[in-house]
C-alpha cells in the first residue's frame, strides 16, 4: 500500500535540485513527512474524493513524482526526478474496528482521536526502507473512519521535498473547493483536469537570479565556519531520553481572537513580525525551564523559514507545488533578565538584516550542506540528538478562510504540519490564523522531549505572549 503503482514507465521530469536532495537524505531519518488532515462531520463520497485527488495530481505533476532514495541522493551526479504518467488515486480506507494501535504504552493516548491520527501519519515513513530498490511515490491518501456514523478523518501525506508549507496550503484550498462540488460527475472533473495538465516546475536553485545566489568562494567558507561554530556553542531544551528511537508528536498553542488581535497589534506597533515574538517567547520559556542561576546566560539558535516564491525569477505563487522555502539561521544569547520585547526586537533585527543581505537566497547551499553533515555525523550535535536549533519558525503565519465556510463543507477541524524527529529543531512551530485566532501546531521529537515537558513549555510561551501583548495594548513600552 505504501508503494503507489505507477501504471506505466516513469518519465524523467528533470534532475533533482540541491534542496530536494537534502530532503531525500533527511526524510528516511524521520524529518520531512508533511501531513494535511481534515476532520469531517459528514460522509464523503470515496469516488468523489478519488477523482478530486486525481485532478490535483494532474494539475500538479510534482505530486506524481518519485524522488530518489537516500543512497541515490548521495551520488556524485544529481539523480533524476521521475514522474508517473498517470495519477495515483488509491485511497487507504481504515475502518474504525481495524485501526492501527493509536495508544501510548498500551494506554489510551492523552490526546483526541484526530490528534492521534495526525501523529500516527507523521510517523508512517515509506521512504525509510524503499521496497526492493523501487522508487517510492511522494503522495499517499488515507481515510480513517470514526465510530460515529458519517464522521471521518481524511489525511494526505507528502514527501516534503515535493510539497512545502505554502504548497500544502494551496493543495488544501483546492481540495476543499473540489470537495464542495459534491454533485460534479467524475468524468466531467477528469476531462476538465486533463485539458489543463500542469508542468513540472524547476528546482528553487534554478530559479534564483545569479546575482542573488553569487558569493565569493572565501565568503562561503567563512559562512560555513560561522554557522558551524554558532551551532557548537548553542544549547537546547533539556533532553529527557536521548537514547530511544524517536517519533514526532505535537501540542497546540491556541489563543482567542481578542488576545491574538492584541498580539498582532503589538507586533505592528513594535515594527516586528509574529515569528520574532514567538521566537522570543520560546527562548524565554526555555531559559526559565532550566532553573538557571540569576543572570546566567545561554545561547539559543532559531531557524526562520522563508517562502522564496516572490523572490525567484520568475516569481511563483502557492499554486506552484514543490519545495521553495529557505532558512535563515541565527543565534542569540539570553540571560533571562531581558524584557520579552527586547529579545523579540533582537530576533527580528537579526533575521531582517539577513534578508536585506539576501542570505535566504545565497546561503541555501551552506545550510543544506550543514544539515546533511549533521545527518552523517550525529555526534557533532548535542547528545547525538540531531538538534540543529532550539526552535524553527515561519516568517509569516498562514491565514486560513473563516472556519464557518469550512463547516459548510463538513470540516470540523484541519491541521497541517511536518515531522521533525530526524534532523531539526527541538520545537517546530506551524502557526496559522483562523477566524482571527492564533492556532500553532508545535511539533517536537519524542521521547527526546516528553509531551508533559512540551505542554509546560508551550503553556509558558502562551502566558509570556498574553502578558506582554496586554502591556503594549495598555500603552506600555
Q: What is the pLDDT of residue 159?
A: 96
Task: Judge contact between 392 and 305, C-beta under 8 A.
Answer: yes
Average pLDDT in the chain:
87
Based on the fold, state whether residues 184 and 253 are members of the same structural domain: no
Evaluate if residue 186 carries a pLDDT over 50. no
381-401 pLDDT, tens per residue?
999 999 999 999 999 999 886
Q: For residue 11, give Cα distances in angstroms to 27, 64, 74.
A: 23, 10, 21
Based on the fold, state whether residues 219 and 122 are members of the same structural domain: no
**Percent of the chain scoring above 90 in pLDDT:** 62
Q: What is the pLDDT of residue 171?
A: 93
If we measure between CA atoms, which residue out of 261, 255, 256, 272 comes closest to residue 462?
Answer: 255
Q: How far apart are CA 414 and CA 14, in angstroms?
A: 33
Residue 181 falls inside a structural domain = yes
**How many C-beta atoms lie closer than 10 Å to residue 252's C-beta?**
14
- Residue ranges making up the domain that contains 48: 11-205
Phi first, then psi, for residue 129 (nearest 5°) are -135, 80
Q: How many domains does the chain have?
A: 2
Residue 1 falls inside a structural domain = no
Q: Which residue has the higher pLDDT, 89 or 276?
A: 276
Q: How far apart are CA 431 and CA 405, in angstroms?
A: 20
Task: Judge contact between 403 and 159, C-beta under 8 A.
Answer: no
Task: Judge contact between 251 and 442, C-beta under 8 A.
Answer: yes
Domain C-terminal end among 163, 189, 205 = 205
Residue 2 falls inside a structural domain = no
Q: What is the pLDDT of residue 157?
A: 97
Residue 48 falls inside a structural domain = yes
3-class SS at 145? strand
The position carrying cell 488532515 is: 37
Which band of pLDDT confidence, cut at 50, 70 and 90, is reported for residue 182? low
Based on the fold, state whether residues 196 and 266 are members of the same structural domain: no
Span 430-453, average pLDDT: 95
Residue 3 falls inside a structural domain = no
Evaluate if residue 184 carries a pLDDT over 50. no
Based on the fold, state whether residues 253 and 159 are members of the same structural domain: no
Task: Judge contact between 409 and 39, C-beta under 8 A.
Answer: no
270-294 pLDDT, tens per residue?
999 999 999 999 999 999 999 888 7
309-332 pLDDT, tens per residue?
999 999 999 889 999 999 999 999
Domain C-terminal end among 158, 186, 205 = 205
136-145, 209-218, 334-343, 410-419, range with the lowest pLDDT = 209-218
Which band of pLDDT confidence, cut at 50, 70 and 90, is reported for residue 404? low
3-class SS at 161? helix
The position carrying cell 489510551 is: 108
67-81, 189-203, 408-422, range with the lowest pLDDT = 189-203
Q: How far apart are CA 475 and CA 419, in angstroms?
A: 40
Residue 62 falls inside a structural domain = yes
Q: How far apart are CA 336 and CA 351, in angstroms?
A: 21
Q: Which residue has the higher pLDDT, 198 or 46?
A: 46
Based on the fold, state whether residues 131 and 187 are members of the same structural domain: yes
Q: How far apart are CA 23 and CA 69, in angstroms?
A: 10
Cβ contacts of residue 268 below 8 Å, gap of 6+?
none
pTM of the model: 0.92
Which band of pLDDT confidence, cut at 50, 70 and 90, is reported for residue 196? low
Look up residue 433 and give its DSSP letter.
Answer: E
Based on the fold, state whether residues 277 and 407 are members of the same structural domain: yes
Q: 232: buried, middle or exposed (CB in 10 Å: 19+, 13-18, 0-12)?
A: exposed
Residue 325 falls inside a structural domain = yes
Based on the fold, state whether residues 179 and 63 are members of the same structural domain: yes
Based on the fold, state whether residues 200 and 226 are members of the same structural domain: no
Q: What is the pLDDT of residue 7?
A: 46
Residue 4 falls inside a structural domain = no
Q: What is the pLDDT of residue 185?
A: 46
**How many C-beta atoms lie closer than 10 Å to residue 106's C-beta?**
6
Q: What is the pLDDT of residue 183?
A: 42
Based on the fold, state whether residues 141 and 181 are members of the same structural domain: yes
Q: Which residue has the higher pLDDT, 367 or 215?
A: 367
Cβ contacts of residue 394 below 8 Å, gap of 6+?
165, 275, 304, 305, 307, 429, 430, 431
Based on the fold, state whether residues 149 and 291 are members of the same structural domain: no
Based on the fold, state whether residues 219 and 159 are members of the same structural domain: no
Span 45-68, average pLDDT: 92
Domain C-terminal end among 165, 182, 205 = 205
CATH number at residue 410: 3.30.559.30
Based on the fold, state whether residues 136 and 232 are members of the same structural domain: no
Q: What is the pLDDT of residue 403?
A: 63
Q: How far apart are CA 82 and CA 200, in angstroms?
A: 10
201-226 pLDDT, tens per residue?
899 999 999 998 877 766 767 676 77
C-alpha cell at 212: 542573488
Task: Judge contact between 170 and 319, C-beta under 8 A.
Answer: yes
Evaluate if residue 423 carries a pLDDT over 80. yes
CATH number at residue 96: 3.30.559.10
Q: What is the pLDDT of residue 150?
A: 83
Which band of pLDDT confidence, cut at 50, 70 and 90, is reported for residue 8? low
Amino acid at each position: 500500500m505504501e508503494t503507489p503503482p505507477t501504471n506505466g514507465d516513469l518519465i524523467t521530469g528533470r534532475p533533482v535540485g540541491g534542496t530536494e536532495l537534502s530532503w531525500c537524505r533527511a526524510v528516511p531519518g524521520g524529518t520531512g513527512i508533511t501531513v494535511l488532515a481534515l476532520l469531517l462531520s459528514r460522509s464523503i463520497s470515496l469516488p468523489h474524493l478519488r477523482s478530486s485527488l486525481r485532478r490535483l495530481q494532474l494539475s500538479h505533476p510534482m505530486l506524481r513524482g518519485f524522488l530518489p532514495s537516500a543512497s541515490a541522493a548521495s551520488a556524485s551526479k544529481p539523480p533524476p526526478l521521475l514522474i508517473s504518467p498517470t495519477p495515483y488515486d488509491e485511497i487507504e480506507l481504515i475502518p474504525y474496528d481495524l485501526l492501527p494501535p493509536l495508544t501510548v504504552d498500551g494506554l489510551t493516548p492523552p490526546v483526541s482521536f484526530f490528534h492521534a491520527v495526525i501523529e500516527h501519519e507523521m510517523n508512517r515513513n515509506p521512504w525509510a526502507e524503499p521496497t526492493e530498490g523501487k522508487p517510492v511515490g511522494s503522495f499517499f491518501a488515507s481515510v480513517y473512519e470514526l465510530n460515529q456514523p458519517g464522521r471521518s478523518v481524511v489525511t494526505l501525506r507528502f514527501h516534503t521535498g515535493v510539497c512545502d508549507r505554502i504548497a500544502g496550503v494551496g493543495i488544501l484550498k483546492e481540495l476543499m473547493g473540489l470537495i464542495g462540488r459534491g454533485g460534479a460527475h467524475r468524468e466531467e472533473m477528469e476531462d476538465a483536469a486533463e485539458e489543463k495538465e500542469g508542468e513540472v516546475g524547476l528546482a528553487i536553485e534554478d530559479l534564483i537570479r545569479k546575482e542573488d545566489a553569487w558569493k565569493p568562494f572565501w565568503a562561503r567558507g567563512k559562512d560555513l565556519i560561522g554557522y558551524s561554530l554558532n551551532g557548537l556553542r548553542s544549547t537546547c531544551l533539556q533532553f529527557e531520553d536521548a537514547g530511544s528511537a524517536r517519533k514526532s508528536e505535537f501540542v497546540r498553542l491556541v489563543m482567542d481572537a481578542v488576545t491574538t488581535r492584541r498580539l498582532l497589534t503589538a507586533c505592528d506597533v513594535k515594527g516586528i513580525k509574529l515569528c520574532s515574538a514567538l521566537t522570543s517567547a520560546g527562548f524565554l520559556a526555555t531559559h526559565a525551564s532550566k532553573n538557571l542561576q540569576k543572570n546566567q546566560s545561554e545561547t539559543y539558535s532559531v531557524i526562520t523559514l522563508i517562502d522564496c516564491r516572490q523572490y525567484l525569477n520568475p516569481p511563483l505563487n502557492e499554486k506552484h507545488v514543490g519545495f521553495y522555502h529557505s532558512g535563515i539561521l541565527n543565534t542569540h544569547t539570553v540571560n533571562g533578565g531581558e524584557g520579552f520585547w527586547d529579545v523579540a526586537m533582537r530576533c527580528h533585527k537579526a533575521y531582517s538584516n539577513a534578508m536585506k543581505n539576501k542570505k535566504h537566497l545565497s546561503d541555501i547551499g551552506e545550510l543544506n550542506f550543514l544539515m546533511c553533515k549533521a545527518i552523517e555525523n550525529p555526534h557533532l550535535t548535542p547528545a547525538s540528538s540531531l538538534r540543529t536549533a532550539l526552535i524553527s519558525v515561519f516568517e509569516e503565519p498562514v491565514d486560513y478562510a473563516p472556519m464557518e465556510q469550512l463547516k459548510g463543507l463538513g470540516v470540523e477541524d484541519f491541521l497541517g504540519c511536518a515531522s521533525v524527529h530526524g534532523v531539526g529543531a527541538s520545537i517546530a512551530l506551524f502557526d496559522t490564523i483562523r477566524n482571527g485566532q492564533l492556532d500553532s501546531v508545535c511539533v517536537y521529537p519524542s521521547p527526546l522531549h516528553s509531551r508533559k515537558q512540551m505542554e509546560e513549555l508551550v503553556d509558558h510561551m502562551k502566558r509570556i505572549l498574553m502578558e506582554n501583548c496586554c502591556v503594549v495594548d495598555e500603552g506600555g513600552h
